Structure 1
């Protein structure tokens, strides 16, 4: 009996190893070989397969394993259904999640706290915070003991669905009832507050964390620091950075780039250069990816002059700018309203030998359209050898805004013939534009073509 048990354990270890590296066919073959040798699979064997199929194939493929379990005389357990529900959640299949939960109850399997955690996460993920809150209340009113993950899911879900005040209130209530939040809970709340631009409250939570028995980690500091910089509270962000360094935390490439970008935005070139030097002295090389990250941040803030200075520094440092570097500059110039500068940079990009620059063309087409220069955008479109759905999306939307809905409709038809379906918002804008301009027949034909294209896709 002991030999058989050890053999099944070895079988499960082998199957788990194959599943982790996505070799599900080999895992299945091991089960077949094991049965031939008299090694009987157990519920763990099949649960490992169910979990792997949910992760790497589909919920349907995983569910077929449940039928095989039952045929082998092995009853699925709560772990089986938790894996299936988690897989359905990952794929945003709410109705499937609810069906599986109901099936588990009908099978006489009692959901555990993880079953409810997954269900709660599913509701949050699909933008249904009220339903998620009801599940949370069910956990509190049941005999189940909530796990720290239960509270983390709740706080994270509330923040992501725009209920940051409720997340903060829940956090404080849990503390009053004796819950000692782990560091991950603090980090989730701080991240949620930062994303909601609640810098003051994020810093207060960081202060509370510093006064507790826990210590903030590099993730905590970097999150708050980035939030301060995004909110243009540069001095506060640099204070966080100083505190982080004084406590001996090592900066990674992302943290360095965040600080350097903030210094560049405030015109502190000497400070930025000093940080670049520190970064390189710490063994982190300032490669082109790091420079591109900084350049992108500057362009998004409309700091075009600082971006040009950084571009000069890249080239003077001996690095060769790539297609992405130049595209960032073109996009930044367009967003800053400097269309002439963007066109000059595109010409310079072509002169440097970057011929395949579809993304750069798309940025300029969008910039021209938004600047009301739709004819020039069309000229640029006609000169392009390659186009993608972003090209058409931008043109169609800007043509609609300019009132040229028939021209936009022709472009949409061409796009559909090439097998591309544009964004829902673009399709809606065009159909609404055609109808409001009196072209109802054209709108009907276009809607029919869109439906057909979606069916054939």
Structure 2
């Protein structure tokens, strides 16, 4: 990142650093407090003339100075301009306003370099809340051109606002800029991207964008495309997620183990079991070696539809590949056989799990106790319930299964 001090545009001599403070747009103390009371405590005395007011600003904290340019934009009525796409069209006056804000930001960063993220995020957040997306987009582009990149939070604010306004052009541009800048995007960024496509039925634009991203990030493998697939599925847009997956062979990046595990999970959760098994077959044909996640995904979804014979085959295949069954593996198997009334097989698997010193969960104990009661094996259910109570402190609880972003 280039030092902000080298990017600051010096103002011509005699030009005020707050040029818009004229008689027609003076900002009194109460107005500032009403808009910015939560951001900064201002100690500006009430002024009766423009010169006195300007002097009071000069004597104020440096941190306060970068609030003023944004106030001018925020005070501009939204209806004063119309845009077909807020990311591509802007009036000349808008450009001047944004250039002024940029100049003030660069000046503030030069004085307090450590506040660059705070300053930029403040301006972007205010513009997004005021639905001044055209201004926000131009400001983000200007900062980007000056090698000043926003924080993940600021990018997410822009992505969310663009999605809410159905401004797909802005949505895609901001996401691409964030990705290219190297800013570590989190799952929220990808979710915001996916939400922006909720009302779109044509997948052509999506596929074109994914192709562009794959060319920009091919050195990362399929990571970005994988996260896009996950995000669309999480937003309930399963068909779009699968459209992206089906086109991945034509991209520079190729599907990897994570890609297939993701798609197997999507197909399983949507009860498309035959398609899930088909993709598993394609995965093997592509010489991609399955892991414990692959098998657990298959087992969990197969047991839900009663395909226990296939579950046993997969369990055997896991062993042949040297993949050790874990708690999730046994949970799926025990649950499947218990639900089908084959409680003896469930108990056999439960004992096998304990022999392998795999720490059981509260869920497994409760399931077994419940199924034993249904089968009329009350004495055994009581014994197992007592064992559960005795081992309670050491059992795996639901919080141990929570995923981290």
**TM-score (norm: length of structure 1):** 0.46
- 1:200: which partner in 2? 309
Tell me if the contact between 1:159 and 1:192 (Cα under 8 Å) persists in the aligned partners: yes
Structure 1 residue 160, shift from structure 2 partner = 2.5
Task: Give the secondary structure class of the aligned counterpart of 1:251.
Answer: coil
Contact 1:260 1:275 in 2 (8 A): yes
Partner of 1:295 in structure 2?
A: none
Q: Does the aligned pair in 1 maintain the 2:303–2:332 contact within 8 Å?
A: yes
Aligned twin of 1:281: 390
| Structure 1 pair 285–117 and aligned structure 2 pair: CA distance change class (3 A) | closer
> Structure 1: which 5+ runs fail to align?
6-24, 291-457
> 2:390 & 2:186 partners in 1: Cα distance?
52
Deviation digits for residues 67-125 of structure 1 (CA, Å, limit 9, x no counterpart)? 9x98xxx9443577986552253688252996984795799884653453355442696
Corresponding position of 2:293: 184
Verify the 8 A CA contact 1:85 1:100 in the aligned structure 2. no
Instruction: Render the CA deviation track for 1:120-158: whole Å, top value 9, x for unaligned.
Output: 4426964755x5544323212322122322101221122
Distance in 2 between residues matched to 1:85 and 1:76, nearest whole Å: 11
Q: CA deviation at 1:214?
A: 1.8
Which of 174, 177, 186 matches 2:283? 174
Q: 1:77 aligns with which of 151, 165, 179?
A: 179
1:231-246 pair list within 5 angstroms: 231-246=340-355
CA distance in 2, matches of 1:106, 1:174: 22
Q: 1:276 Cα deviation (Å)? A: 1.5
CA contact (8 A) 2:163 2:192 kept: yes
Q: 1:212: Cα distance to partner?
A: 1.9
Please name the residue that 2:260 is paired with: 151
Give me the whole-angstrom Cα distance separating, in 2, the residues matched to 1:47 and 1:100: 24
Structure 1 partner of 2:154: 49
**Separation of aligned partners in 2, 1:105 and 1:280:** 52
Partners of 2:208 and 2:285 in 1: how far apart? 38
Q: Secondary structure at the match of 1:181?
A: coil
**Which position in structure 2 is the counterpart of 1:116?**
225
Q: Tell me which moved more, 269-278 or 205-214.
A: 205-214
Q: Runs of 5+ in structure 2 lacking a partner? A: 6-37, 40-62, 68-104, 118-146, 399-405
Distance of aligned partners of 1:128 and 1:280 in 2 relative to their CA distance in 1, 3 Å threshold:
closer
User: What are the Cα deviations for residues 265-317 of structure 1, in whole angstroms up to 9, with x where unaligned?
Assistant: 1111121111112112213499xx99xxxxxxxxxxxxxxxxxxxxxxxxxxx
Q: Deviations over 1:32-66 (max 9, x none)?
A: 799634335567643343347879x99449989x7
Residues 266, 128 of structure 1: alpha-carbon distance in 2 compared, 3 angstrom cutoff: same
**Cα distance change of structure 1 residues 134 and 175 upon mapping to structure 2, 3 Å threshold:** same
Query: 2-side partners of 1:205 and 1:51: how far apart?
Result: 42
Look up the match of 1:251. Answer: 360
> Higher mean Cα deviation, 245-254 or 110-119?
110-119
For the aligned residue pairs, the C-alpha RMSD in angstroms reads 4.6
1:200-222 Cα offsets, whole Å, 9 max, x none, are: 21222122112222211111101
| 1:249-398 equivalences in 2 (<5 Å) | 249-284=358-393
Which residue of structure 2 lines up, in the alignment, with residue 140 of structure 1?
249
Q: Secondary structure at the match of 2:341?
A: coil
Pick which of 207-216 and 120-129 moved more. Answer: 120-129
Instruction: Tell me the distance in 1 between the aligned counterparts of 2:203 and 2:187.
Output: 12
Q: Retained in 2: the 8 A contact 1:263–1:271? A: yes
Mapped partners of 1:156, 1:89: distance in 2: 18
Secondary structure at 1:95's aligned position in 2? coil
Which is worse superposed, 215-224 or 192-201?
192-201
Separation (CA, whole Å) in 1 of partners of 2:365 and 2:280: 31
Contact 2:191–2:235 (CA under 8 A) maintained in structure 1 = no
Partner of residue 355, structure 1: none
8 Å contact from structure 1 (residues 152, 185) kept in 2: yes
Distance 1:92 1:164, change over 3 A: farther
SS at match of 1:203: helix
Question: How many residue pairs get matched?
Answer: 259
Q: CA 1:207 to 1:51, structure 2 compared with 1: closer, same or farther past 3 Å?
A: farther
Give the SS at the match of 2:392: coil
1:95 aligns to what? Answer: 200
